[in-house]
Structure 1
């Protein structure tokens, strides 16, 4: 059997209509098929490849770590330089007292750890999240997700979960002295790029402080430079009690983390000890890749380029069928009349060599979240192909 047949026969499928794009190699903003077809990746593997595919500095860091050691011991027992150097670099991007890093393998795992930590530290049981939030697909992360379509088949989920509407001030009254934590995306991703106001986030922070509630900011998609600052919350002059990150953190390698203060994180040490456990969390190769990713973002000044690149997308993507653009940096959503209008456009884009898609909870909008390394010329090329695709839908290739 060829690769496509093996894919369908032996790999678990999650839909009846996978994209079935076969990729042989990748570099920068490009993916390459086995017969030489070239694709511009405008979604970065869903917010992962912030520094592009196979960035040379990331690849060099991986190779260097491969020559030293791979997995040695479950997380938190051995002193490993790849982990300690990464933790130091992460802390250096954050305000005090966010100085304690727990490394895991993915965003869902980071959310699970953050929820456990909030419950353990506060000795409260209620968690509040947002309608149309997406925090992952494990049971705990799914419980704080905000869309019933993805949850109903897996109930019962965690009890004590409440939901508020993102960005609405009057909803903050639901946060009270029984609430262990509010978990919220700094920029809502799968809802179709929804951006809260500075006033909203400051009011949220104040309400959490007043009630003794921990504020968990989920920057799994928004972190690592994507919005134009290293962390999206920097734009709001607030800071979380717990920060969750993953996706763009690893330069293409699997890694995640939740970060808090030493005081809060110490709650995992007792009653019970080993309050959170992971075998592969902070794998040294992934940690080395993540450290290199942070260094690349700083060295190449990628965050400073985000606003100009986002503006070029906004200027070029003008068409009667595009109803509007929502964005925060290079997290962008192009709104169309309906999914029925959008889906053929996405299919035509892919056929013409531009990878894009829609959002889990917003299927009338096109996702644009390219590697931060994308050049202005590559943006022009991609936008030309998107506009051509809009015009050509319904016509034979």
Structure 2
């Protein structure tokens, strides 16, 4: 199977982890050798209810028995998509009332950027250094990391970059700016949280020049930071909200949300301003609806903050220089990339799944399912500390 995996399936790196999966349940993934791995990554934040959550699985099975794809997005009334977008609106500020469902986070970013241009009639986009918003051409254009972009240029013109959390750069948002796009918490950069009311100040500047604020909640969203969306922690409401990953409960999804006034502009002049065949797919929407219902009805969001404190309390070691992030979106900052690599690879050998971040080589991702138990957290932390005790820093 590994030989076929490498021969026939396109790879993203020269050295994939290549664990052969048998099944997954709760906080564990099992390989074909029947070894159990405690999952501290949750599919890179995409499985907030863990693996094979019964409510999500049942919702998928029930929808499968009714119908799957029947028509391109937006033409037929399909209950799972309607109920999902209605529930999102219920839990969002009134100005975020209408949602366009897509197949992935990066596609939702594309839609949000198009909408900002359509609303403002402007073309300038401002993004942040070390930002990551996806890998399609428009999303890559607002990626603040040249090394990952240079082989694919030319990209979108008229994109400028500022430093996240640097208020002095906000005057670069002007009457020529269609939008500024930011991650509520910078992910690939190392889980950098906004400080000193930064996002509120960005919103104020946008309002002064009639630019739009797009917040990318693809990683922080769906309960991971102790609130349904990260922006709720930072005194700010975006004009366009983008989500994905965890919303699908393990199924592929993206979404962008704005006011009806803004979103309705995609209907006309031109018609079909944004279209997709499989966006809002009924089976995926059923999975997302069950996920959102469980997270909003349960104590999982409140518990995420308690679990954060447990992780911070347990993960004390001379090689852990800092723990960044909020809730169950945490990154351990190690003294070097070499130590990060050793910890992640040895943890897999010891039955614990950790992972890297895109642009910060010294960071170790900890984004477990929101459903992880405190006992499982303790077990995983013990593995981390045991491995770190064996590492001799240079």
Q: What TM-score do the two structures reach when normalised by structure 1? A: 0.97
Shift of residue 112, structure 1, vs aligned partner: 0.2
Shift of 1:163: 0.5
Match of 2:194 in 1: 196
Which residue matches 1:12? Answer: 10
Query: Which of 347, 369, 385 is the equivalent residue of 1:387?
Result: 385
SS of 1:310's equivalent? helix
C-alpha distance in 2 between matches for 1:170 and 1:88: 39
2:344 matches 1:360: no
1:166, 1:154 → 2: CA distance? Answer: 24
Secondary structure at the counterpart of residue 286 of structure 2: helix
How far, CA to CA, are the matches of 1:393 and 1:324 in structure 2? Answer: 17
Please report how far the alpha carbon of residue 199 of structure 1 lies from its aligned counterpart in structure 2 after TM superposition. Answer: 1.6
Q: Deviations over 1:253-276 (max 9, x none)?
A: 111100000000111122210000
Aligned to 2:64: 66
Corresponding pairs, count: 392
User: In 1, distance between residues paired with 2:123 and 2:207?
Assistant: 17
2-structure distance, mates of 1:66, 1:181 = 39
Q: 1:298 aligns with which of 291, 296, 299?
A: 296
SS at match of 1:357: coil
Q: Secondary structure at the match of 1:146?
A: coil
Counterpart among 207, 230, 233 of residue 232 in structure 1 = 230
Matches of 2:207 and 2:196 in 1, distance apart?
17
Select 2:86's aligned residue among 68, 85, 88: 88
Q: Secondary structure at the match of 2:319?
A: coil
Mark the runs of 5 or more structure 2 residues left unpaired by the alignment.
Answer: none
**Per-residue deviation at 1:14?**
1.6
Structure-2 residue corresponding to 1:378: 376
Which residue does the alignment assign to 2:221?
223
Where 2:135 maps in the other structure, the secondary structure is: coil
Cα offset for 1:393?
Answer: 4.2
Partner of 1:176: helix, strand, or coil?
coil
| In structure 1, C-alpha distance between the alignment counterparts of 2:122 and 2:213, rounded to whole Å | 14
Aligned to 2:143, which of 142, 145, 158?
Answer: 145
Q: Secondary structure at the match of 2:67?
A: coil
Task: State the Cα distance separating 1:385 from its structure 2 match.
Answer: 0.5
Paired with 2:98 and 2:232, the residues of 1 have a C-alpha distance of 19
The residue number in structure 1 matching 2:27 is 29
Aligned to 2:127: 129
Q: Which whole-Å CA distance do the structure 1 matches of 2:49 and 2:274 have between them?
A: 30
* Contact 1:198–1:235 (Cα < 8 Å) also in 2: no
Instruction: Return the alpha-carbon distance in structure 1 between the equivalents of residues 362 and 84 of structure 2.
Output: 39
Distance in 2 (alpha carbons) for counterparts of 1:301 and 1:67:
31
| Alignment correspondent of 1:278 | 276
RMSD after superposition: 0.9
Deviation at residue 5 of structure 1 after TM alignment: 1.4
Q: Which runs of 5+ in 1 are unaligned?
A: none
Alignment pair present for 1:311 and 2:323: no
Partner of 1:177: 175
Q: Displacement of 1:299 after TM fit?
A: 2.7
How far residue 382 of structure 1 moved from its aligned partner, in angstroms, is 0.2
Contact kept, 8 Å, 1:226 with 1:330, in 2: the verdict is yes
Contact 1:22 / 1:34 at 8 angstroms: preserved in 2?
yes
* Secondary structure in 2 matching 1:228: coil
C-alpha offsets along residues 53-96 of structure 1, whole Å, 9 cap, x if unaligned? 11100001000100100001100100110110011011111001
The CA distance in 2 between the partners of 1:78 and 1:10, in whole Å, is: 37
Q: Tell me the equivalent position of 2:332.
A: 334
Name the residue aligned to 1:55.
Answer: 53
Structure-2 separation of matches of 1:325 and 1:266 = 42
Query: Could you tell me how far apart the structure 2 residues matched to 1:102 and 1:91 are?
Result: 12
Measure, in 1, the Cα distance between the counterparts of 2:22 and 2:4. Answer: 15
Q: 1:353 & 1:371 partners in 2: Cα distance?
A: 16
CA drift at 1:324: 1.2
